[in-house]
């Protein structure tokens, strides 16, 4: 069976709603954490440094004098 774009979007939405309804808060927090971690790990150095600057996070192991 091949889904149309609309069927695919609606099915994805229904499955997401089902998963969210049955998920506890701790599991949801962990999933969001993992998504952000993956995103940051896959960023280029320049993008990651820009994010760090935007959120005022120091680069580990770097001493600024």
CB 51 within 8 A of CB 40: yes
* Residue 52 and residue 59 in contact, taking contact as beta carbons nearer than 8 Å: yes
Long-range contacts of 35-40, Cβ-Cβ distance < 8 Å, separation of 24 or more: none
Domain membership flag for residue 5: no
**Which region, left, alpha or beta, applies to residue 56 given φ > 0 means left and ψ of -120 to 50 means alpha?**
left
Q: Is residue 32 part of a domain?
A: yes
Residue 10 within a domain? no
Question: 33 lies in a domain?
Answer: yes
Task: Find the mean pLDDT for residues 16-32.
Answer: 90
Query: What range defines the domain where residue 30 resides?
Result: 25-65
Residue 54 is assigned to a structural domain of this protein: yes
Higher per-residue confidence, 63 vs 16:
16
Number of domains in the chain: 1
CA torsion, ordered 31, 55, 59, 50, to nearest 10 deg: 100
Q: Is the pLDDT of residue 52 over 80?
A: yes
Answer whether 0.75 is exceeded by the pTM: no
């Amino acid at each position: 069976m091949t889904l149309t774009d609309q069927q695919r979007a609606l099915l994805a939405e229904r499955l997401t709603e089902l998963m969210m309804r049955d998920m506890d808060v701790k599991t949801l927090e962990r999933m969001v954490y993992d998504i952000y971690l993956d995103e940051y790990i896959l960023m280029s150095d320049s993008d990651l440094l820009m994010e760090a600057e935007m959120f005022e996070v120091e680069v580990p192991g770097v001493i600024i004098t």
